[in-house]
Amino acid sequence: MQTHIARKDRSVRSWAKEIDDNAMQQALRSARSDAVADDIALMPDAHWGMGATVGSVIPTESAIIPAAVGVDIGCGMIASELNLNAADLPDTLDPLLSNIGRSVPAGFNRHKNPPAAALQWMNTNPVPEAERVPDKQLRGAAHQLGTLGSGNHFVEVCLDERDVVWAVLHSGSRGIGNVMAQRHIKAAGRLCKELERSLEDRDLAYFLDTDTQFGDYIADMLWAQAYARQNRELMMDAVLNQLGRAVAKPMVEARRINCHHNYTEREVHSGRHLWITRKGAIRAGVDDWGVIPGSMGAASYIVRGLGNVASYCSASHGAGRRHGRKEAKRRFSVDQFEDAMTQAGSTWQANAAEKLLDEAPMAYKDIDEVMAAQADLVEVRHRLRAVLNFKGF
């Protein structure tokens, strides 16, 4: 861990071995914010992000920064360990790739008719103050529950070091979470301007717990986090249904791990009740289980937390980008992308390589270096390699 001084009573504790100056300066501005209660922590996958540094852990006591949570509230990972091994998988995974694509709507696609489980969840978990949400998004929430989205969201079938099969999935709160987040981010900006609250970075606009909007944001945020978690659960059920159809033996799920990495939670640290905002970080308290993915051509890890208090019991959420999306498309060719995926040996949407170029493995940091940098944050329990990768675009 390295310490970077933001001001005399605040600093940035960093596990990042590779971080550009823009990201570090952004993190230092976050640490200097009046809303922040203590030092912030930077994970080894840290890089510049919209609102706040991706891979940052930000403690606040009587304030909340909506843009630090970000627009995909509750985004995270889910992984399922199965009673299958490599020999149980079919010789070709192309049909499974197609079937996953049909059962898990991705990109801008959604369920034409919401699954019964999605409707049931929506009925038992009503949107807080639903009149604040546009009718279009409110109607679409059930249709998007159980859908992947695009960008770096993915579904993978993996093998661990024992050749045991895992299903792994990455997604968040979809359109309704985005709409909720955007509304509160703008409201925080307007309030800080109206009350002349000092802001070094307008993206760090915040609510105090004495503001009416504070409670409104917390209610929406907690709902969106629950929606995101259920979104992953429903997609995993759909993926396992397709995987079960593809193998010849009865399939049993041994365990399921579901963890957020864009969220806020009330926790106690050093005797203080704090809101811990993890933007691109997972909780890694003692015995917390987590999923840390690499790029689509690299390993992913199943980990158990070590409870490091200096990181607020947190760890990285993935490899972290080395190059932004536009830069990746300028820097790398489709041929380079295809070569990298050939070396990875994964069944993937090769016919969509041009559309997925910004997700090429070369656009990300080395996940093994990231894991080595956080050996004091998590214990590696399983190393996974993907044999199938599906992405939305």
* Other beta carbons less than 10 A from residue 222's beta carbon: 17
Q: Which position among 261, 317, 323, 382 bears the catalytic label?
A: 317
Give dist(CA 116, CA 66) in Å, integer: 32
Give dist(CA 382, CA 166) in Å, integer: 10
Give dist(CA 65, CA 63) in Å, integer: 7
Give dist(CA 41, CA 59) in Å, integer: 9
- Listed residue (78, 23, 163, 107) closest to 359, CA to CA: 107
Q: How many residues are recorded in the chain?
A: 393
272 strand-pairing partners: 269
192-209 pLDDT, tens digit per residue, is 999 999 999 999 999 999
Sequence-distant (6+) residues with CB within 8 A of 225 are 73, 74, 173, 260, 263
Task: For tokens 């937390």, name the residue.
Answer: 305
79-138 pLDDT, tens digit per residue, is 999 999 999 999 999 999 999 999 999 999 999 999 999 999 999 999 998 888 888 888
pLDDT of 8 reads 57
pLDDT of 50 reads 86
Give dist(CA 306, CA 290) in Å, integer: 11
pLDDT of 131 reads 84
The pTM for the full model equals 0.95
Q: Is 317 a catalytic residue?
A: yes
- Listed residue (137, 186, 171, 364) closest to 262, CA to CA: 171
Q: Topology of 2-322+364-391 in CATH? A: tRNA-splicing ligase RtcB (3.90.1860)
Give dist(CA 154, CA 318) in Å, integer: 13
Sequence-distant (6+) residues with CB within 8 A of 275 are 59, 60, 61, 63, 64, 264, 265, 266, 267
Domain locations in the chain?
Answer: 2-322+364-391
Residue 68: both structure tokens together: 């630090």
Question: If the chain, 393 residues long, is cut into consecutive pieces of 10 residues, what is the mean pLDDT of each piece?
Answer: 72 94 94 95 95 95 96 97 98 97 95 94 94 87 96 97 98 96 96 95 95 96 98 98 96 97 96 97 97 96 98 97 94 96 95 96 96 98 98 91
